[in-house]
Structure 1
Amino acid sequence: MAAPMLRCVSPSRWFCTPGPWAVLPRGLREAHSGNKGLLAVQKARGLFKEFFPDKGTKVELPELFDRSIAGNCPQTIYCGFDPTADSLHVGHLLTLLGLFHFQRAGHNVIALVGGATARLGDPSGRTKEREALDAERVGSNARALRRGLEALAAHHQQLFSNGRAWGSFTVLDNSAWYQEQHLVDFLAAVGGHFRMGTLLSRLSVQTRLKSPEGMSLAEFLYQVLQAYDFYYLFQRYGCRVQLGGSDQLGNITSGYEFINKLTGEDVFGITLPLITSTTGAKLGKSAGNAVWLSRDKTSPFELYQFFVRQPDDSVERYLRLFTFLPLPEIDHIMQLHVKEPEKRGPQKRLAAEVTKLVHGQEGLDSAKRCTQALYHSSVDALEVMSDQELKELFKEASFSELVLDPGTSVLDTCRKANAIPDGPRGASVLVVGQHILKNGLSLLKIGKRNFYIIKWLQL
């Protein structure tokens, strides 16, 4: 069904969204919200970075989520995820955590898959245009993202329940309200409410216009469609808050201005920090350093190890951002770490909490099993495992299996597989029972992190 075009709603529409809080006594609702306030708590964790607009966010926005105010009903918050790939990655995880924190406080949240907007490509934070994706590819990616989002929401519900009444978690796709829109009708109804000077002033647009490649019309119109998404969700679901990374502020601003111009009502934006690598690069598909949340692309073991390897100067911040652990408990974990840093307690707790959220308890068990086998087991322990058990174990860890003929140089084979760089050639004698297990397998370790299973065809 096509989206309704530019129809205002009454203020009561967004002020009384149905939800589980309606059945709770007022005193219990106040206890759930906490006197400090949801926004202040997440600001203290470092999860919420900026609030928009400046006008009103010191009073109106906090009051919107203050459960102690008589008549306040659950609010609706959304965040968008464009399906430019068939999996979410760690860079998306913070916005999901932001949605989950609102849900845990009794508010209703929407994860919006950009099945339409992904066809245009978001220029925010980019120096060149995204690779164009056809409709079939975007549709396939959108279905995969939907499954991933629903799985994460299920793990959150099953494994991290705090015993309180939560709000709803809904996954939508914006292609549902664009697929029946006619271009001329849409531009005639929507386009007149946007000013070119304002759109051109956005930082993301200015950056691209000054780049050698310039900016396409499709990219330029992206912020218009994202603004309309916000308006549509405001109309249909009473959504008054949009979450996004700090690079999304311009797009969120466009949505605020569009809704305010049409309805006279205020909506709000909340940005979250961007997660970067140790070199300062934004984590993501485009940067080539994505740590995927799909098990088919990044195993539970690899995700677990990504967080276990976080340096001491990052781990406390990541515990605050990526977990639901109370701040006093995080302080206690860090105090123990000062006494016994060699145990890497904060890193292990961080890795366990994130892996359990993303892959469930089974995924966490798999990650721990691989870690135990690779870093703490002796050769004897590996030797008693069957061929199939070893294969399954290392498949979980996403390690490679190299099949060699007798007399083949291990070093040459590893070089061909890009396991080790070219360098001085060497030779060694492999002894059955010492270097080769009785089941005909060898475990080859290159450096600290790269492991390979070698299957010997003849001994």
Structure 2
Amino acid sequence: MSHILDELQARGLIAQHTDIEALRATLDEGPITYYCGFDPTAASLHHGHLVQAILMRHLQYAGHNPLVLVGGATGMIGDPRDSGERTLNPEEQVAEWTQKLANQLSGFLSFEGENAARIVNNYDWTSEITAIDLLRNIGRYFRLGTMIAKDTVARRLASDEGISYTEFSYQILQANDFLELYRRYGCILQTGGNDQWGNLVGGMDLIHKAEGASVHVMTTPIITKSDGTKFGKTEGGAIWLDPTMMSPYAFYQFWLNQADADIERLLKVFTFIPLEEIDQIVAESLEKPYLRLGQRRLADEVTTFVHGAEATDRVKEASAALFGKVDPSGLDGDTLQDAVAELVSAPAEVGMSVVDLVEALGLEKGKGAARRTITAGGLSINSVKVEDPEATITDDQVLPGGIILVRKGKKNLAVGRLS
């Protein structure tokens, strides 16, 4: 693409924006400074935040200067939800989560070179504002009618619970962030999710009123699946980016299991693969859907971006081991544990009869059936066929993490676990 805005639009990364041609002209004049804010409402970012990080990286690749804002102050207040007041988290927890988010975000952008990213915390300036400063120097630029008219605020006001002054004031604090970054760093573009449009425009209006300057805002769409439902929920909840909250294996499997109809859009939004190459991947996937080429490339790219190439390789090796394609003995214990987390398991110990383990795992009903399966060559341990129905579990069959992979036939896989 000849222009970064054309690239972002072609990838479906732009939902709403202010004067797009004015922004295009500004970008053409030379590098600009832009920012996106991330509030610490949990101990980890999730896939929705990933869209913002990817947009920021595209802009940085194009030569512009990113500011990554972590909301040490706004995280203590909380953006109003559609229903129900937020529970205010303890200050110590907000501070801890703020640092965790900063650490995660530092892996998504480059902090070297002429347009190195910079992490800022809005607690640094918000904590210095007195109540009089807030009302006199910032609040006077806000009109109550405009604040009340915002969608979330309007819904909350119409509800039985209403909305507290605390959450109602959030939009002032976020708007002031844009003003501060404009004054400190010359920041003239704010990006965010489409649900943040009202807050983003509030910051733009504040700068216009307080400084007489024109700045820009741009949002990314809320990602949905081809059937119109929201993208990114699993039985376990959100798609967390922290490996302690969602293992790299589970993360990889989430992307691998996406529907064919969603692959083209997901490749455009969540990867940096050139658009021409994405067209080729999609075409090949249509010709050979059983190979799941698009899903595999998507899972590889996103997992590598979030967790690194080494973690992706470990995950792929673990997957291959479960399907009997590679020797599982060389895998690390943590990855193997993650890979078998959803499989049927039973306690095992060295010296235990293989027949007893097969019965305990429910792979056969009774010892006689287990012996017949072994005699017929239908059972393997760690991808090695068991030939003796009187065999016992040996030390060398225990994989890292205390795992023993027991397979009946091609599809029935279970796990013996040493305590």
Once the 2 structures are TM-superposed, how far is the Cα of residue 321 of structure 1 from its aligned partner?
0.6
Would the alpha carbon gap of residues 390 and 323 (structure 1) be closer, same or farther in structure 2, given more than 3 Å must change?
Answer: closer
Superposed counterparts of 1:352-367, under 5 Å: 352-367=300-315
Ranges in structure 1 where 5+ consecutive residues have no aligned partner: 1-33, 67-71, 158-164, 416-425
Is 1:45 matched up with 2:1? Answer: no
The answer to whether the 8 Å contact 1:174/1:229 transfers is: yes
CA distance in 1 between partners of 2:161 and 2:414 (Å): 42
Given that residues 241 and 268 in structure 1 are in contact (C-alpha distance below 8 angstroms), is that contact kept between their aligned partners in structure 2?
yes
Distance in 1 between residues matched to 2:231 and 2:157, nearest whole Å: 21
SS state at 1:377 partner: coil
2:347 corresponds to 1:404: yes
CA separation of 1:362 and 1:185: change in aligned 2, threshold 3 A: same
Question: Over aligned residues, Cα RMSD in angstroms?
Answer: 3.4
CA drift of 1:108 comes to 0.2
The 3 A distance-change label for structure 1 pair 167 and 284 is: farther
Letter in 2 for 1:123: P
8 Å CA contact 1:114–1:174 kept in 2: the answer is yes
1:420 is aligned to: none
SS at match of 1:87: coil
- Picking from 22, 26, 42, the partner of 1:64 is 26
The corresponding residue for 1:419 is none
Q: Does 1:333 align with 2:281?
A: yes
User: Residue 177 of structure 1: which of 125, 129, 139 is its match?
Assistant: 125
| 1:47-126 to 2 correspondences below 5 Å | 47-52=13-18, 57-66=19-28, 72-124=29-81, 126=82
Aligned residues of 1:114 and 1:142 also touching (Cα < 8 A): yes
Cα distance change, pair 393–253 in 1 and its aligned pair in 2 (3 A): closer
**1:5 maps to which residue?**
none
* AA aligned opposite 1:144: K
Residue identity opposite 1:93 in structure 2:
L
Aligned mate of 1:132, from 80, 85, 88: 88
The answer (yes or no) to whether the contact 1:111–1:169 under 8 Å persists in 2 is: yes
Deviation at 1:175, TM superposition (A): 0.9
Alpha-carbon distance between aligned partners in 2 of 1:451 and 1:142, rounded to the nearest angstrom: 42
Q: Which residue of 1 aligns with 2:229?
A: 280
In the TM superposition, what is the alpha-carbon distance from 1:85 to its structure 2 partner? 1.1
| Aligned equivalent of 2:387 | none
Which deviates more, 206-215 or 93-102? 206-215
Matches within 5 A, 1:183-332: 183-276=131-224, 280-281=229-230, 283=232, 289-332=237-280
Runs of 4+ in 1 over 6 A off after TM superposition: 449-452
TM-score (norm. length: structure 2): 0.82
State how far apart, in whole Å, the 2-side matches of 1:400 and 1:186 are.
Answer: 52
1:146 and 2:91 matched: no
Letter in 2 for 1:399: A
Secondary structure of 1:297's counterpart equals coil
Q: 1:365-395 CA deviation, whole Å, 9 max, x = no partner?
A: 11211221123537xx44xx28xx5734423
Structure 2: distance between partners of 1:167 and 1:49: 25
Shift of 1:39: 1.0
Measured after TM superposition, the shift of residue 302 of structure 1 is: 1.5
Cα contact 1:399–1:451 (8 A) shared by 2: no
CA displacement at 1:264 relative to structure 2:
1.5
Report whether the alignment pairs 1:394 with 2:336: yes
Q: Secondary structure at the match of 2:308?
A: helix
Tell me which amino acid in the other structure corresponds to 2:182.
F
CA distance in structure 2 between the aligned counterparts of 1:113 and 1:305, rounded to whole angstroms: 29
Mapped contact 1:83–1:145 kept (Cα < 8 A): yes
Which segment drifts farther, 350-359 or 179-188?
A: 179-188
For residues 129 and 149 of structure 1, do their structure 2 counterparts lie closer, same or farther at Cα, with a shift above 3 Å needed?
same
Contact persistence 1:94–1:322 (CA under 8 A): yes
- 5+ residue gaps, structure 2, are 383-392
CA distance in 2 between partners of 1:179 and 1:414 (Å): 58
Deviations 1:294-342 (A, max 9, x none): 1111122211111111111100001111111111111111111122111
Instruction: Write the distance in 2 (CA, Å) between the matches of 1:377 and 1:353.
Output: 22
1:139-178 per-residue CA deviation (whole Å, 9 max, x = no partner) reads 0101111111112225x98xxxxxxx77221111111112
CA–CA distance in structure 2, aligned partners of residues 142 and 352 of structure 1: 28
Q: Is this contact kept in 2: 1:240–1:268, CA < 8 A? A: yes
Alpha-carbon distance, 1:410 to partner: 9.3
Count of residue pairs brought into register by the alignment: 387
What's the secondary structure of 1:292's corresponding residue? coil
Greater RCO, 1 or 2 (C-alpha within 8 Å, sep 6+)? 1
Question: Cα offset for 1:121?
Answer: 0.9
Offset at 1:267? Answer: 1.2
Three-state SS of the structure 1 residue aligned to 2:273 is coil
Aligned to 2:390: none
Question: Offset of 1:50 from its aligned partner?
Answer: 1.2
